[in-house]
Chains A and B, each alone.
Chain A
Amino acid sequence: MTERPPQIWITGLGAVSCLGNSVEDLWSAAADERTGVTDGLGRVPDDIFMEAPANRALAFAVHAAREAMRHAGWSRLNPDDGLIVATTTGFFLQWDRAFSEFVNERLPIDEFRRDFLNQPLMQLNVALGKALDHRGPSTVLTSACSASTQALALGAMWIKQKRVKRCLVAGVEVICDLTAEGFRSLQLLSREPAKPFDVARRGINLSEGAAFLCLESGDGGLAAVSGYGFSTDAFHMTGPHPEGHGSYRAMNQAVRSAGLRPEDIDWVHAHGTGSIQNDMSEGLAVKSLCGEHRPYVSSTKWLHGHSLAASGALESALVVRAMHEGFVLKTRGLTNPDPQIPVLHPKSDLKVSPGHVLKNTLGFGGANASLVLSHPRTVRA
């Protein structure tokens, strides 16, 4: 008889964002309808730490990791625990500064080499592993905005396949010149807080932070990772497929792999960046998936901005918290829904307890990833 794969549970959450240094801060801001975006960017305020951190990425990561582990009751990471980090910037702030000084002949080559050694995304993982005294399996996913959604799914696979016993999964991102100026050059940034799905949406708010989720098998937890799906648009380097074909396939796989039907989904927590193309593509994909069944669809990017590789983890943490508070969150910043996007927007935060939530991400390079997160009451023993 085939052994039934174990149920994978999220048992701890941690977050540092432009809204504060805990999941509680994130949730309070959502409840108070308070955005962390200023002048179009969602920067983590320095004063949430005791002092301005010398290495922002590492400070965000260590703080959020410890919060998640405390929440899950993990006193330490063991050699048979995994660590998966998703990032597109990692230690880029350090490298970026050293690089600029070097090419302007203000930094000798020996010093540049010293800082250069800190450059790759992997170095965040190495430093985090040291800070947490982690010696088990570890990797870094860099699939743009879908990276931490992929990481959560990979963490679940590692546990199911017995590569690890438990897994700490992270998304970490910092705002640096490369991303801030780069997104500006693509004319994707909005100076105002994002307006996902609004007819007047103008673009995204780049943000930074870290979110960590503890995964393990067992009898229960905060929410189950009950399905996942991935696809690639193979269409454009930065733009999504205009009709959302790739996103549709990722969502469809996620729902099927959870053993569900689209009509079982109560809430689609959308990628919903507030860019003209993303929201249209994703809305059409949801419509293709759900047909006449219309789950609530909303985005929370107005609150916390778009933290790129960290977005899937950060928003999953928020979804799990909302699930436990018994809410479906409305889209903040949405006042005049785009009639071309055929989805059901909750008009207010709804006091209903969602059973199954579909969490979407769409990334540059056409990488789409979706997760199904399920309330414990819906998961069969």
Chain B
Amino acid sequence: MKLVLLGHGRFTSADLEVYQTPPQWRKATRNMIMATASIERALGKVPGFIDRANEDTGLVLGSSSGELDTSSEFLITLDRMKVARPLLFQNSLHNATTGFASIHFRLTGPTFSISSGLQMPRETLLMAQALLEDGVCRACLVTLVEGHRLLSGFIKESVDEGAATVLLAEAEFAASLGYESTPEFIMADWIADYPENPATAPLVAISGSQFYRQIVERE
């Protein structure tokens, strides 16, 4: 099956410092903000796409750290104040960012959350490919997000954060929506694993991934 790249976007922790976070995101975690903003940038390349192809569009979101920062906050609050805070719990689930993004963009197609360590870029992209080949969806957002400010602080290491998204589609489907001259997506150029770094493991720096660098090159 021929896949095309309809859009791409990324968001860094530096972006987060200047980003005008919408008021309705006041309960969002760093991962939620970074992932959702990167998806927004990817979708910005194809205005109106989601309105036309909502149910046909999937979302595969991969994160190694997931929401462990929020899990840490939940456990600290529980330990020190003897209070279990429901907001921290709901935000601490590994798929909370996927849920948040789906609500923001009103995505009603299939959404998958995965955690595959250093293989994350490969597994998120292969998951999207599997869904597209099977016909479960005809376009798919693939997002990597790594936010771990609290965790990296605990181990006294600086590990960069951020999110990166691509919007893939079956070529035929893209053409049917009028996106005819879009570049083919060459999977092999994107799927290299995160580079291993024992100094920061298990935290991974998203900027080290080929997936992320491919997006930087296209900006």
Q: Are B71 and A178 in contact (CB under 8 A)?
A: yes
Q: Indicate if the CB atoms of B96 and A234 lie closer than 8 Å.
A: no
Shortest distance between the CB of A369 and any CB in chain B (Å):
8
Q: Is A335 an interface residue (CB 8 A)?
A: no
Could you say which of B6-14, B86-94, B168-176 contacts chain A?
A: B86-94
Contact A117 B75 (CB under 8 A): no
Interchain CB contact (< 8 A) of B94 among A121, A154, A228: A121
| Chain B residues with CB under 8 A of A16 | none
Point out the residues of chain B lying under 8 angstroms from A21, CB to CB.
none
B114 touches A363 (CB 8 A): no
User: What is the bound-complex CA distance between A147 and B61, given in angstroms?
Assistant: 13
A9 within 8 A of B: no
Determine the chain B residues whose CB is within 8 A of the CB of A113 once the complex forms. Answer: 155
In the bound complex, how far is the Cα of B95 from the Cα of A3, in angstroms?
36
Given contacts A120-B117, A120-B202, contact A161 B75 (CB under 8 A): no
Say yes or no: A182 contacts B114, CB within 8 Å. no
Give the secondary structure class of A's interface. Answer: helix
A177 adjacent to B75 (CB under 8 Å): yes
Interchain CB contact under 8 A, B89 and A186: yes
* B187: interface (CB < 8 Å): no
Residue of A nearest to B133 (CB): A161
Q: Which of A88, A103, A246 contacts B76 (CB 8 A)?
A: A103
User: Given the complex of chains A and B, what is the CA–CA distance between A249 and B108 in angstroms?
Assistant: 9
Is there an interface contact between B103 and A236, defined as CB atoms closer than 8 Å?
Answer: yes
Flag the segment in A68-76, A135-143, A265-273, A285-293 that touches B. A135-143
Interface residue ranges of A138-192 to B (CB < 8 Å): 138-144, 147, 150, 154, 157-158, 160-161, 163, 177-178, 181-186
Q: Which residues of A contact B136 (CB under 8 A)?
A: 157, 228, 230
Determine the chain A residues whose CB is within 8 A of the CB of B111 once the complex forms. 143, 230, 232, 365-367
Question: In the complex the two chains form, is A116's CB within 8 Å of B119's CB?
Answer: no
Chain B residues, CB < 8 A from A231: 108-110
- B186 proximal to A (CB < 8 A): no
Name the one of B65, B78, B96 contacting A177, with C-beta atoms under 8 angstroms: B78
Q: Are the CB atoms of A178 and B79 closer together than 8 Å?
A: no
Q: Are B130 and A237 in contact (CB under 8 A)?
A: no
User: Given the interface contacts A103-B76, A143-B95, does A185 sit within 8 Å of B89 by beta carbon?
Assistant: yes
Categorize the interface residue count of chain A: 35 or more
Distance (whole angstroms) from the CB of A223 to the closest CB of chain B: 20
* Chain A residues, Cβ within 8 Å of B72: 99
CA distance A80 to B112 in the complex (A): 24
B102 contacts A157, CB within 8 Å? no
A319 to chain B, nearest CB (A): 22
Cβ of B102 and Cβ of A163 under 8 Å apart?
no
Q: In the complex where A116-B154, A365-B102 touch, is A178 in contact with B130 (Cβ < 8 A)?
A: no
Asked whether A143 lies within 8 Å of B74 as measured between CB atoms, the reply is: no
A378 within 8 A of B: no
Chain B 135-171 per-residue mask, 1 if CB under 8 angstroms from chain A, else 0: 0100000000000000100111000000000000000
Q: Which residues from 224 to 257 on chain A have a C-beta closer than 8 Å to any C-beta of chain B?
A: 228, 230-238, 246, 249
B100 touches A237 (CB 8 A): yes
Q: Which of B64, B93, B96, B102 has the most CB of A within 10 A?
A: B93
CB distance from B66 to the nearest CB of A (A): 7
Tell me the smallest distance from the CB of A313 to a CB of chain B, in Å.
16
- Does B201 count as interface, using CB distance less than 8 angstroms? yes
- Kindly report which residue of chain B lies nearest to residue A365, judged by CB atoms: B99
Nearest Cβ on chain A to B104's Cβ, whole angstroms: 9
Asked whether A120 lies within 8 Å of B86 as measured between CB atoms, the reply is no
User: In the complex, how many angstroms separate the beta carbon of A323 from the nearest chain B beta carbon?
Assistant: 25
Chain A min CB distance to B216 (Å): 26
Q: Is B210 an interface residue (CB 8 A)?
A: no
Complex Cα distance, B104 from A365, in Å, reads 12
> Contacts A99-B75, A142-B66, A143-B111 hold; do A365 and B93 have CB atoms under 8 A apart?
yes
When chains A and B are docked, how far (Å) is the Cα of A55 from the Cα of B186? Answer: 41
Contact A140 B115 (CB under 8 A): yes
Is there a chain A Cβ closer than 8 Å to B127's Cβ?
yes
Q: Do A126 and B202 touch (CB < 8 A)?
A: no
Contact (Cβ within 8 A) A141 B112: yes
Contact A139 B127 (CB under 8 A): yes
| Choice from B55, B89, B113 contacting A182 with Cβ under 8 Å | B89
| A246-B100 in contact (CB<8A) | no
Find chain B residues with CB under 8 A from A41 CB: none
Query: B177 to chain A: closest CB distance in Å?
Result: 21
B64 touches A144 (CB 8 A): no
A147 to B79, CA, bound (A): 29
* Contact A237 to B99, CB < 8 A, known contacts A112-B154, A230-B110: yes
On chain B, the residues within 8 Å of A100 by CB distance are: 75, 79
Task: Tell me, yes or no, whether A340 is within 8 Å of chain B by CB.
Answer: no
The answer to whether the Cβ of B98 comes within 8 Å of any Cβ in the partner chain is yes
A232 pairs with B94, CB closer than 8 A: no
Cβ–Cβ contact B134 & A364, under 8 A: no
A367 lies within 8 A of B202 (CB): no
Which residue of chain A is the closest to B134 with respect to CB atoms? A157
Select one of A109, A142, A157, A158 contacting B95, CB under 8 A: A142
Chain A's nearest CB lies how many Å from the CB of B183? 24
7 inter-chain pairs at a CB distance below 8 angstroms, sorted by A residue, are A100-B79, A147-B113, A182-B86, A230-B112, A232-B109, A234-B106, A364-B96
New A-B pairs, 19, CB < 8 Å, besides A139-B119, A364-B95? A104-B79, A116-B202, A120-B64, A122-B115, A122-B116, A142-B115, A143-B111, A144-B93, A157-B136, A161-B133, A163-B130, A182-B92, A185-B85, A185-B86, A230-B136, A231-B109, A233-B102, A364-B90, A365-B111
